[in-house]
Structure 1
Amino acid sequence: MKTLFISLALIFCFSTYNEILAQPDSSDIPNTQKTWWKEAVIYQIYPRSFKDSDGDGVGDLKGIIEKLDYIESLGVNMVWLNPIYSSPNADNGYDISNYREIMDEFGNMEDFDLMLSEMHKRGIKFVMDVVVNHSSDEHRWFKESRKSRDNPYRDYYHWWPAEKGEPNYRYSLFDPKGEAWKYDSKTNAYYLHYFSQKQPDLNWENPKVRQEVYDIMKFWAEKGVDGFRLDAFQFVSKDTSFPPLPKGYEKDVIKYYGMGPNLHKYLKELNREVLSQYDVFAVSEGAGSTFEDAHSLVDADRNELQMAYHFKGMDVGNSLEGYKLSELKEVYTTWDSAFAKKGWLSIFLANHDVPRMVSKFGNDSPEFRAASSKMLNTFILTMRGTPYCYYGDELGMTNIGFDSISQYQDIVAKNGYEKTLNEGGDIEKYMAELKFLSRDNARTPMQWNDSEHAGFTTGTPWLPVNDNYKEVNVEAEDKDPNSCLNYFREMVNFRMENPVLVYGAYELLFPDHKQVYAYTRQMGDKKMLILLNFSKEESSIEIPSEMKELQLLKNNLPEVTKQGLDLTLAPYQALIFSYR
């Protein structure tokens, strides 16, 4: 039986990287060409969970507008919202029924226009989530498509006539039975859905579909949207003969499910039709299965996308046993090296599809939650690449840890539970893994204050609020100069003031140290040393003797012990030094 870990790896990471591949050749010119989206700090908001303005228990656009001063206070200069289009909500908005309308629960187009205008007044740019590998089965296109085989919209989706026999197996990431072909009796045919049955895959081989997508993106770009995040975009190009999958395909899902034969053709077309016509950037969810794949997507001379968003870091720690720091070092060092001279990376430890950052990579116990949250944010904000900071992580929000399947809202959790039952699997183990790894952990309501439901809503929240909201909330942390929130603000400002943290070269130190992640950032005569203790134990480290005139710039804790070149770091301590 596949464990939850394997399922989540397939669902969220979409990739298994070939570590023995040589890194791509690149220019000797350092990757320091200045661009606004490289210098951004992006704040990701899950709109259902940020702020409810009307008491229906669901966050909305007016709630975001209400909290724009707070977002501005963080120092971030870009916001990415998960989908806000009209949707039946089979997958919390990732099943879209109308790409030019706002979901009723979130508000209307006037609310959107006001939100965008108010963001821009504050110097905050906006990233739109674009979900065009699939639509909702309630989209007009699909409703027409399934009416008859000669309907003008039939070729907007992938259909397989039943008289040809059952199509070759394709795995569905969200289906309880794991089957991506769904039989539809009306036209005696199967349609393809890599995700839920309610999310049929669009047929990008049809130029009419591609033009529909470009027109949609132009619609939002004309409104003033500054960037696009392309959901599951690696999957849009498919071998439409759908040949049998080879044995062992599960080891490299992207190789057989994504990066299809025409993907780059479509991306160049997208760039030509949309991206090059506006001052926008685009990032695709996932980066292929090799470094070559990633570079082919985002290198400037490719004229495709601008930024890679790889999931290799999210592969680390997907089990109840935790992770080794060496794994994290290897991932981020290898990827930085591959993109040191060419291309650009996203840097993140959390999003809407993975557990809370501090619960997975830090320590969410009351003793260490704040320190480890600060340490992890130090990491994100001192690495090369564009940082993506997930809402609530600036407070140190933690996993909620549901005990019963009835508490979960996520389609993946529910279908996985049903699949485990159907296969006679270990349901106790599944629930233990789900409690730690579930996507719902990252989707609980934002904790604004210590009032009922943490000030998120006056009604009943769509997901329960974490019980620790009395201590972990914006109002309390805003008043505490030593809080996670105020440290986050300091670190965002520190990054903005120090271009070396954006463009500077990265070098890993002490790769075999089991507790401390140490690295330098250097650009010209600007040099910084970053020391991060990923452990609940004190840890000593010897600063290299060639580092002269050390000056402590940032410390997430009040104490630091220095004896000559020997440092003792407290549990989850983060230190930043300048040096010569």
Structure 2
Amino acid sequence: MEIKKWWKEAIIYQVYPRSFQDSNGDGTGDLNGITQRLDYIKDLGANAIWICPMYKSPWSDYGYDISDYYKVSEAFGTNEDLYRLIAKAKEKGIRILLDLVINHTSDEHEWFQKALANPKSKYRDYYFFKKGANGKPPNNWRSYFGGSAWEPVPNEKNMFYLHAFTTKMPDLNWENEEMKQELYKMINWWVEKGVSGFRIDAIMNIKKTMLAGDAQKDGSDGLVAIDKYIINQPGIQDLLFDLKKNTFAKHDIMTVAEAAVPDDELENFIGNDGFFNMVFDFRAADIDVPETGEWFLPTNWTVNELRDALLTAQTSVQKMGWGATYFENHDQNRSINKYFSRNKEDISEVTKKMLATILLGFRGTPVIFEGEEIGMENIELASIDEYEDVATHNQYNNGLASKLDEKTVFDLVSYRSRDNSRTPMQWDASLHAGFSTATPWLPVNPNYKVINAEAAIQNKNSIYHHYKNLLSLRNHGTFKNVLIYGKTVPKFADLDNIMAYERVLNDQKVLYFANFQNKTMEFNPSDFTGNLLSNNYDELLIQDGKFIAQPYQAIVIDRNV
């Protein structure tokens, strides 16, 4: 019997605050802008908002380098603005979730500054400071952003600090009990302020298997990828249990971990007594990125592989616990471009509605990223210099260093750039898409005059209303229990380019079906009998006793009739 929880019935709307709504005319989105748009989020059908980092930060990695966990960045407003947002959202039945970034801090955090200032300070052990040899780092780990994961400490010979990400993001030492208690205190403080949960960033990196000396290199730079030494290492589960015991378990909150967890370990992470309520699965979202992580190398994935990735995640997670389902977020390109990069002529309202149908029928808490619900697309900028994202620039430089053609590298890297999801929200057809009265920090996609929320709301056949109808189906009335708590059962798995599954609970069955290809397919109509609940075409086509699934058609059918 499935245990009912409020976070299983949540629909999360993810906000990248810098790009959502500017309330004060400085070209940057802010917390008051989110407050202004609460009715829009509520009307869509969402009842929780996940806000990307809005803490004080020097912004070397988009706010994931936090210099003060207790203070809102001036760019986004004040703590009082956040408290007001929490209160106003609560009035409308919407909960607020924050990003929790506790693998590292900014190098401008007070702890790190004190660690630099005094080698004998207790704060030295809050981080990883290690001696090198003859001016060389302690080992040859490569950071996620390229280059050595060890940075020389200023004015100290042969002393280095560890940073898995940028040099301005030193990793915290989770073996230090006092440091952990400081983090636990901060987490509980935010819950007391009214926060209903957290998306936990890079949490699988907190346990390090320290390496003395160099390992065998895996690249021409003489370095080795750090992930094999700091992701899901032995002993991490003890740290995660302690984190939960001292924070999450004390409150009725939602916890969503950014954690690629092997299927055989899922129960420990998301079971009834798991460390978190749910985790994100990366198999489908990263299908366009090779194992090496090099965006400039295409993966040549197939629809069948995408289908299998999605449905394997569904069936493996539901055996052990709960999941969070998504196609887009702040670290991804737009899903319509991801899944149609090789046949751009098929990017249309039909295919956007098809993706919505696939996503919003899955078991798990759905996460909709800002603009996804109106069909926002990748932006096409003219040169690499127009991109803000540091990862985009690193990938571009690495592609050039690999001696690939400059245009090929640019096309692939810009298509995968995280800036594609970070362009300002397209609210209407006015100047700057209604996002700001000033020039936005990142260009607005030129298609905003056609693709915008105002136009979508007015058009009852829009992608927006397709999302709204699917979300209403999930969270209201006859189908609520089966679509939230029912199992996912794959269907038509033997057919190429067909993505289909039933949601099943007791004697209720709801079929989600998508013909993920640009050609028709014939089916026996008996497999589709029932009440039609959703369709991205105007009608179901029956010819010569056959159901004709049209190109990219997606339907939802109540099979209980």
Q: Please, what TM-score do these two structures have when normalized by structure 2?
A: 0.92
Report the Cα distance in structure 1 between the residues aligned to 2:375 and 2:300, rounded to whole angstroms.
Answer: 19
Name the residue aligned to 2:423: 444
For 1:135, the aligned partner's letter is T
Name the residue aligned to 1:282: 255
Q: Which moved more, 1:375-384 or 1:245-254?
A: 245-254
Q: Which moved more, 1:367-376 or 1:319-328?
A: 319-328
Report the Cα distance in structure 1 between the residues aligned to 2:283 and 2:212, rounded to whole angstroms.
Answer: 27
Name the residue aligned to 1:502: 484
Q: Alpha carbons of 1:278 and 1:446: their partners in 2 closer, same or farther (altered >3 Å)?
A: same
1:87 aligns with 2:87: no
Counterpart among 13, 22, 26 of residue 43 in structure 1:
13
Counterpart among 102, 116, 129 of residue 132 in structure 1:
102
Counterpart contact for 1:131–1:230, Cα < 8 Å: yes
1:435 aligns with 2:410: no
For 1:273, the aligned partner's letter is N
Name the residue aligned to 1:17: none
1:471 aligns with 2:443: no
Q: Alpha carbons of 1:271 and 1:501: their partners in 2 closer, same or farther (altered >3 Å)?
A: same
Name the residue aligned to 1:399: 378
1:261 aligns with 2:243: no
Deviation at 1:163, TM superposition (A): 4.5
Counterpart contact for 1:48–1:59, Cα < 8 Å: yes
1:513 aligns with 2:495: yes
Counterpart among 427, 430, 433 of residue 454 in structure 1:
433
Identity of aligned residues (%): 37
Deviation at 1:368, TM superposition (A): 4.0
Report the Cα distance in structure 2 between the residues aligned to 1:113 and 1:328, rounded to whole angstroms.
Answer: 41
1:226 aligns with 2:196: yes
Q: Please, what TM-score do these two structures have when normalized by structure 1?
A: 0.89
Q: Which moved more, 1:560-569 or 1:144-153?
A: 560-569
Q: Alpha carbons of 1:306 and 1:323: their partners in 2 closer, same or farther (altered >3 Å)?
A: same
Name the residue aligned to 2:161: 191
1:317 aligns with 2:288: yes
Report the Cα distance in structure 2 between the residues aligned to 1:508 and 1:476, rounded to whole angstroms.
Answer: 36
Deviations, residues 201-253 of structure 1 (Å, cap 9, x unaligned)? 11111111111111111111001111111100100111235565467799997
Deviations, residues 310-346 of structure 1 (Å, cap 9, x unaligned)? 2111221346575311111211222222223321111
SS across alignment from 1:341: helix
Deviations, residues 95-114 of structure 1 (Å, cap 9, x unaligned)? 11111000111000110000
SS across alignment from 2:264: helix
SS across alignment from 2:318: coil
1:305 aligns with 2:276: yes
Deviations, residues 270-315 of structure 1 (Å, cap 9, x unaligned)? 1111111111121210223x2123332222234x211021211122
Deviations, residues 253-284 of structure 1 (Å, cap 9, x unaligned)? 75432112332112111111111111112121
Q: Alpha carbons of 1:301 and 1:469: their partners in 2 closer, same or farther (altered >3 Å)?
A: same
SS across alignment from 2:312: helix
For 2:234, the aligned partner's letter is P
Report the Cα distance in structure 1 between the residues aligned to 2:358 and 2:540, rounded to whole angstroms.
Answer: 18
SS across alignment from 1:34: coil
SS across alignment from 2:284: helix
Q: Which moved more, 1:238-247 or 1:144-153?
A: 238-247
Deviations, residues 448-478 of structure 1 (Å, cap 9, x unaligned)? 0001110101101011000110010011111
Name the residue aligned to 1:372: 351
Report the Cα distance in structure 2 between the residues aligned to 1:141 and 1:238, rounded to whole angstroms.
Answer: 20
Structure 2: runs of 5 or more not aligned: 290-296
Deviations, residues 507-532 of structure 1 (Å, cap 9, x unaligned)? 21222423321211111111111111
Name the residue aligned to 1:106: 76
Counterpart contact for 1:116–1:224, Cα < 8 Å: yes
Name the residue aligned to 1:292: 264
Name the residue aligned to 1:381: 360
Report the Cα distance in structure 2 between the residues aligned to 1:548 and 1:463, rounded to whole angstroms.
Answer: 46
Deviation at 1:58, TM superposition (A): 0.6
Deviation at 1:571, TM superposition (A): 2.4
SS across alignment from 2:374: coil
Q: Which moved more, 1:485-494 or 1:291-300?
A: 291-300
Counterpart contact for 2:534–2:556, Cα < 8 Å: yes
For 1:260, the aligned partner's letter is Q
Name the residue aligned to 2:30: 60
1:572 aligns with 2:555: no
For 2:315, the aligned partner's letter is S
Deviations, residues 520-576 of structure 1 (Å, cap 9, x unaligned)? 111111111111122233333335x5x585221111221320248732222222111
Q: Alpha carbons of 1:548 and 1:533: their partners in 2 closer, same or farther (altered >3 Å)?
A: closer
Name the residue aligned to 1:161: 131
Counterpart contact for 1:85–1:99, Cα < 8 Å: yes
Q: Alpha carbons of 1:348 and 1:87: their partners in 2 closer, same or farther (altered >3 Å)?
A: same
For 2:332, the aligned partner's letter is V
In the TM superposition, 1:24-43 aligns within 5 A as 32-43=2-13
Name the residue aligned to 2:306: 328
Report the Cα distance in structure 1 between the residues aligned to 2:298 and 2:448, rounded to whole angstroms.
Answer: 25
Report the Cα distance in structure 1 between the residues aligned to 2:137 and 2:195, rounded to whole angstroms.
Answer: 43
Q: Which has the higher contact order (CA 8 A, sep 6+)?
A: 1
Report the Cα distance in structure 2 between the residues aligned to 1:345 and 1:192, rounded to whole angstroms.
Answer: 32
Q: Alpha carbons of 1:565 and 1:496: their partners in 2 closer, same or farther (altered >3 Å)?
A: farther
1:337 aligns with 2:315: yes
For 1:354, the aligned partner's letter is Q
Name the residue aligned to 2:536: 556
Counterpart contact for 2:208–2:229, Cα < 8 Å: no
Report the Cα distance in structure 2 between the residues aligned to 1:518 and 1:511, rounded to whole angstroms.
Answer: 8
Deviations, residues 30-64 of structure 1 (Å, cap 9, x unaligned)? 6x221111111111111100000111111000111
Report the Cα distance in structure 1 between the residues aligned to 2:36 and 2:487, rounded to whole angstroms.
Answer: 39
SS across alignment from 2:7: coil
How much is the aligned-residue C-alpha RMSD, in angstroms? 2.3
1:71 aligns with 2:41: yes
Counterpart contact for 2:19–2:423, Cα < 8 Å: yes
Deviation at 1:416, TM superposition (A): 2.7
Counterpart contact for 1:287–1:294, Cα < 8 Å: no
The aligned length equals 544
Q: Alpha carbons of 1:331 and 1:127: their partners in 2 closer, same or farther (altered >3 Å)?
A: same
Counterpart contact for 1:43–1:76, Cα < 8 Å: yes
